[in-house]
Copies of this chain bind each other. A is one copy, B any other.
Amino acid sequence: MATIKDVAARAGVALGTASRVLSGSSQTSADSRARVLAAAAELGYIANGPARSLRRARTDVLGLLVSDIRNPFFSELAHAAEQEARRHGYTVLLANANEDAEQADAYLKTFAAQRIDGLLFSPQGTVSPQVAATLASGLPVVFLNRTIEGVDAPLYGTDNAQGVQQVLAWLQRRGHRDVAFIGGPDGISTGAERRAAYLAGRRAHGISTDDRLLDAGDFLAGGAAEAMCRILDRGVTFTAVFGANGQTTLGAVRALRQRLGAEQAARIEVVSFDDLDWFEFASPPISAVRNDASSIGRLGVRGLVDLLAGREAPGQRVPTTFADRSVQGTA
């Protein structure tokens, strides 16, 4: 692979001149500029990133640590973040914690070794030693979607309170009184916020405050299905189910159909935080809070870029919209 030395030799200039042309740092004569560029093109020169990083003490790489890349919310977020980062001249190193604090720690170490310039982080909720070390290191950090209590880093995430309000309003409009709520882990900020907003608002929207209708999973389909089963086992009746994220709703619907059969299950209306492709096909169709992953990813990157440029990054709550798919004439 050609080095800058090869380029300089071919262009008949000194190494320094070639470097100046290629990294555009200072003025060069039109003549040497042209010759260096031509030589570089002929040789297919691509600067050696590690060498450049070593010298400049920055990598132009941002780390993105998400909790579960198979969750469509995060894969869309990752996609948007990547696009936005590229626009600002950064490469994204994507890591998937797989909802597992140990893996998150391992990746944070990898990020540190790679000397990323900044971190986009969707945390598990716990402050492990590695997380603490990362935060203490002075690395610019932005939280995406989830935050950690007491940590001073801007959060770019969904307006959970607003989303839950939309669900509550919908439940009331649909006349539901007995509603099963399947939340997420309380240690994850989105889980806690959505649960808190639901508990705070249910009475005012005419919804039963019977806590036997409440349970929580792990924000994955499996744990949510178990939670749904526990509620069913308690023998309280309900006419609607509210799943606190997309995977949770998936698990809940699965459990309902398995336990009650498709026909009985279809008598229960389902509403979800997070909108998924197939909700329109469910019977009955599932209404949902649209959680704008793209915007969160994009804004998060912009915030981090601001931080890196020494500017302020205040964080931001992204508004939700509600997709009402309830069928006319039923209630």
Contacts and interface: CB of A to CB of B under 8 A. Distances in A.
Interface of A: 1, 44, 46-51, 53-54, 59, 69-70, 72, 75-76, 78-79, 82-83, 86, 91, 93-96, 98, 106, 109-110, 112-115, 133, 137, 221, 250, 253-254, 257, 276-278, 280-283
B109 A82 contact: no
Contacts of A79: 69-70, 96, 98
Contacts of A133: 44
Contacts of A50: 49-51, 53-54, 59, 114-115
Nearest to A246: B277
- Secondary structure of the A contact surface, majority rule: helix
Contact of A91 (B98, B110, B254): B110
Nearest to A110: B91
Contact of A76 (B53, B70, B93, B257): B70
A111 B112 CA distance: 19
B250 A46 contact: no
B51 A137 contact: no
Given A79-B98, A278-B281, 14 more contacts: A46-B109, A46-B113, A48-B54, A50-B114, A50-B115, A69-B75, A69-B79, A70-B72, A70-B76, A91-B114, A221-B277, A250-B278, A254-B280, A278-B278
A252 to B, nearest CB: 12
Given A277-B278, A282-B281, A113 B75 contact: no
Contact of A54 (B46, B54, B109, B253): B54
A69 B79 CA distance: 7
A303 to B, nearest CB: 21
A114 B52 CA distance: 10
Nearest to A254: B280
A281 B270 CA distance: 13
Contact of A72 (B72, B98, B112): B72
A66 to B, nearest CB: 10
A106 to B, nearest CB: 7
Contacts of A280: 254, 257
Nearest 8 pairs between A and B by C-beta?
A278-B278, A50-B53, A50-B50, A49-B113, A94-B94, A50-B54, A46-B112, A49-B114
A76 to B, nearest CB: 6
18 contacts: A46-B109, A49-B50, A49-B113, A49-B114, A50-B53, A50-B59, A51-B54, A70-B79, A72-B72, A79-B96, A79-B98, A82-B95, A91-B110, A91-B114, A94-B94, A254-B280, A281-B282, A283-B283
